[in-house]
Amino acid sequence: MSVAIVAALLAATVAARPQAADLDAGRLKAERCASCHGAGGNATIAGTPSLAGQSAWFTHWALIKFRDGRRKDPRMSPFAAGLSDADIADLAAYYATLAPRPRPQSVDAAKAAAGQRLAVSHHCTSCHRPDLSGQDQVPRLAGQDLEYLLRQLHAYRAGTAGDLEGLMTMAARPLSHADIENLAHYMAGLTPVP
Amino acid sequence: MRRITLTSFALALGVVLAWAKPAPAQQAPPVWKQGQPAEQANSALAPVPLPPTPTPAKDIHVDAMTLPPGFTISVWADGLHNARQMARGSRGTLFVGSRVAGNVYAVVDRGGRREVKVIAKGLAQPSGVAFKDGALYVAEIPRLLKYENIEANLDSPPDPKVVYEFPKDAHHNWRFLLWGPDGKLYFNMGAPCNICMPPDTHANISRVNPDGTGFEYYARGVRNSTGADFHPVTRELYFVSHGRDWMGDDIPHDTLHHAPRPGLHFGYPYCHQGDIVDPEFGRGRSCSEFAPPLLKLGPHVAPIGTRFYTGDLFPPQYRNRLFIAQKGSWNRSEKIGYRVMTVELKAGQPPQYEVFADGFQQGGKVLGRPTHIEWTPDGSMLLSDDYNGAIYHITYKR
């Protein structure tokens, strides 16, 4: 069914020529993003992720998934639909150069302590690194927005997050609501490191 | 002694911590880490991450690839993110699948300039493609799709028909498609794990009629086959398979197998590379119970595109030789693979295994991953690279 929809929406597109990212162009293009994702990529609106210091590969993949419909969000999907390959490359490269800052949010210490143990027993640290700073296509979780982390973990568990290879869906499936709550408080409470 | 002391200390500490706060139960690791022994828990080895974007032709180090005298390599097309299997349409269109990019591409040659069209997107790892009677067949993880009369409709592809539904497990179930001499489509259904007792539906090569009827298992005990071909003379199936991970840098080898008839069992998960019983699943079993591999290809080399050469352009010694592209290792301290090998198969003689194209990793840096092979009508080679998202042309001139 989804194939039929995609095919119906899709007049075949000619793939754009690949090209290297342009940081200056990324800075200009990101002005449109700042009203939600914050100046300098550090968002303050609850539910909106910070992008500063995320690896370029992660942001790039996220925008591709929004654009081709594998990941859906009422605000991001229409925005991403209009991005060219060059826009995506420029934005991803630009956000990777920015310094992440702590978010104005407070976390529950008991939940965070439980979440710290879950992050090890559920192997979050084996891809996201021990300090949850992320790498390559794997996002930084440390210091990310609490509400966003909760929403994404629930979406992965429900299989609606647009998982690349299914790894996060498998990781999230065994999590209870309480586990997700605890993990999100732990991740949100960490100091973001680039 | 020191080790015992440390272990005792760790145990004591564990007891104290366990008493202080109940630890959550250990969960299943990510699939690529499954089967990793405890002593390797801190290993830095992990699958090679895929760039989110294809590499522009000018930035691909195609000159790093060394070839036998007389052969040359060039970038034939770029901008095909994560390019995997290729299939040629009867009007000359080259169809190309992908994995995590989710795209299927059509490359149209316009007098030396290649136009790359995205004809399907958002599919679940549509790595396998095959063409017959005007129709493009695409294998994504859950489904075999058929796009009829595709070459007349590249700019407005028809809705595909779902020809067959596969098991939905993702791991090791990105597929190749291969036409058999019997007119059936052959494909892999890999083990949904690194090492496990697979369900009966997995760890095999199977076949189905092009209309989706007549499903049959063909070869069993196959962990993760990513490429296969039928011998141009004997019409018998040869296929490659990836060995299990986390047994060390040098074992087990990835393997080339010969399946002259249906129903053979090739050993997984009991026996690896024909002579190593699995430390867990092989207990009480013997490798002599299973069909042995024809050739050990090297540990963790990751063989993928597997094609017999039937053209006239390459020197005569290459005719009917098997070409095996190897996209290269991750579960090994020093990288290996990232090359194309050939195998000479002669009745009554051991297979001769030789390097054809090499150099796509240098000092551990990945420059590209040779992935699938397709022959052009003039007998030259197209080689896809799922890391750079490009297709190379390898040709020969005396």
Q: Cα separation of B79 and B389, whole Å?
A: 6
Same domain for A92 and A114, yes or no, is no
Type of residue at B51: P
CA dist., res. B127 & res. B304, Å (int): 12
Sign of CA dihedral A126, A128, A133, A136: positive
Residues A32, A92 within the same domain: yes
Residue A13 domain-assigned (yes or no): no
Can you tell me the distance from the alpha carbon of B108 to that of B88, in angstroms, rounded to the nearest whole number? 10
Q: Given an 8 Å threshold on Cβ–Cβ distance, is B79 in contact with A123? A: no
**pLDDT value of position A134:** 93
* CA atoms of B203 and B193, how far apart (whole Å): 10
Facing B27 at nearest CB: one of A135, A166, A174: A174
Of B50, B105, B156, the CB nearest to A15: B105
Residue A6 in contact with residue A13, Cβ under 8 Å?
no
Calculate Rg over the CA atoms of chain A. Answer: 17
Q: Which residues does chain A have with pLDDT short of 50?
A: 1-12
Residue A35 sits in the same domain as residue A92 = yes
Closest CA–CA distance from residue A124 to any residue of chain B (Å): 9
- A2 within some domain: no
Give yes or no: residues A87 and A135 share one domain: no
Nearest CA among A128, A134, A64, A133 for reference residue A92: A64
How far B209 CA sits from the closest chain A CA (Å)? Answer: 22
Domains in chain B, ordered, with CATH? 66-396 (2.120.10.30)
Q: Does residue A173 form part of some domain?
A: yes
How many domains does chain A contain in total? 2
- Of residues A20, A122, A126, nearest to B56 (C-beta): A20
Residues A122 and A182 both lie in one domain: yes
Residues A114 and A181 in one domain: yes
Mean pLDDT split into 10-residue runs, chain B, 398 residues: 38 42 72 89 86 91 95 97 97 96 95 93 94 98 97 96 93 95 98 94 97 97 98 97 96 98 98 97 97 98 98 97 97 96 94 97 95 98 98 95
Looking at A51, A71, A96, the residue that finishes a domain is A96
Q: What is the pLDDT of residue B59?
A: 94
Q: Cα separations (Å) of B40 from B30, B149, B190, B314?
A: 15, 52, 25, 45
Q: Considering only CB atoms, which chain A residues are within 8 Å of B146?
A: none
| Alpha carbons B280 and A89: distance in angstroms, whole number | 46
Domain boundary (A62, A96, A130) is at A96
* pLDDT at residue B15, as a whole number: 40
B100 and A CB contact within 8 Å? yes
CATH of the domain at A52: 1.10.760.10
**Are residues A116 and A175 part of one domain?**
yes
For position A18, what pLDDT does the model report?
Answer: 60
Regarding whether A73 and A114 lie in a shared domain, the answer is: no
Q: What is the pLDDT of residue A163?
A: 84
pTM over 0.90: no
Q: Which domain holds residue A150?
A: 109-189
- Do the Cβ atoms of A137 and B50 come within 8 Å? yes
Closest CA to B73 of B370, B377, B386, B389: B370
Q: Is residue A146 part of a domain?
A: yes
Angstrom distance (rounded) from CA B66 to CA B394: 11
A151 part of a folded domain: yes
C-alpha distance from A82 to closest chain B C-alpha (Å): 16
Of A96, A120, A154, the residue at which a domain comes to its end is A96
Q: Are A68 and B105 within 8 A, CB to CB? A: no
- Cβ neighbours of A127 in B, within 8 Å: 30, 46
pLDDT at residue B21, rounded to an integer: 52
What residues of chain A, 47 to 86, have a C-beta less than 8 Å from chain B? 56-57, 60-61, 64, 68-70, 85
Q: How far is A17 from chain B (nearest CA, A)?
A: 6
